[in-house]
Amino acid sequence: MRIVLLTLLTGCAGAAATGSEETAAGEFCSSLADGGTFLSEDGGGNGSSGLIDIRVLTNESVDINDPLYVAFKSYTLENLDSGGVKTVGQTSGDGLVSELLGAGNWTFSAAYTRGSLTCLANLELPVTANGTTLGCPVMECP
């Protein structure tokens, strides 16, 4: 009887954790396993543009959100389809980037120099009109 009850409780907990898109988005970029990936959702942006939300992670520290590697790093967003003027900026203190961009394929690049090492984070991601794309580039220091 205890085994059946435990199995039922475990099954219900698993269904609740993966049941909604909000839960999936809220957990996205929470581990290094999400590194180098993106997730597209409906909503956000406008008729011809989409929103990107990026969280830079790092594999150079025990803490994947170590501010030494992700905070206040310069980045560039470039449209791979049309080129044009690049969007530039700096990550927040938490390694976050949020931009409204035209629909198309974009590349995110961030870099900084630490001693003699140049650390890099790159990620290609699609931006869809009226959509939101969540991305998790990983800052690595080869």
What CATH number should be reported for the domain holding residue 45? 2.60.40.10
73 or 142, greater pLDDT: 73
Domain annotation covers residue 18 = no
CB 89 within 8 A of CB 60: no
**Residue 110 forms part of a structural domain:** yes
Task: Decide if 71 is inside a domain.
Answer: yes
Q: What is the mean pLDDT of residues 87-98?
A: 95
Paired tokens of 28:
């996205």
Tell whether 8 is covered by a domain.
no
Name the domain count of the chain: 1
* pLDDT greater at residue 138 or residue 43: 138
The pLDDT value recorded for residue 3 is 37
Residue 63 CA to residue 111 CA, distance in Å, equals 19
State pTM to two decimals: 0.78
* pLDDT value of position 132: 95
pLDDT more than 90, % of the chain = 68
Over range 107-136, report the average pLDDT.
94
Greatest Cα pair distance, the chain, in angstroms, is: 65
Identify the burial level of 40 via C-beta atoms within 10 angstroms of its C-beta, where 0-12 means exposed, 13-18 middle and 19 or more buried: middle
Tell me if 122 is assigned to some domain: yes
Q: How far is CA 54 from CA 2, 58, 79, 135, in A?
A: 44, 13, 16, 5
Domain presence at residue 112: yes
Which range marks the domain in which residue 57 is found? 34-139
Please check whether residue 97 lies inside any domain of the structure.
yes
User: Does 91 map to a domain?
Assistant: yes
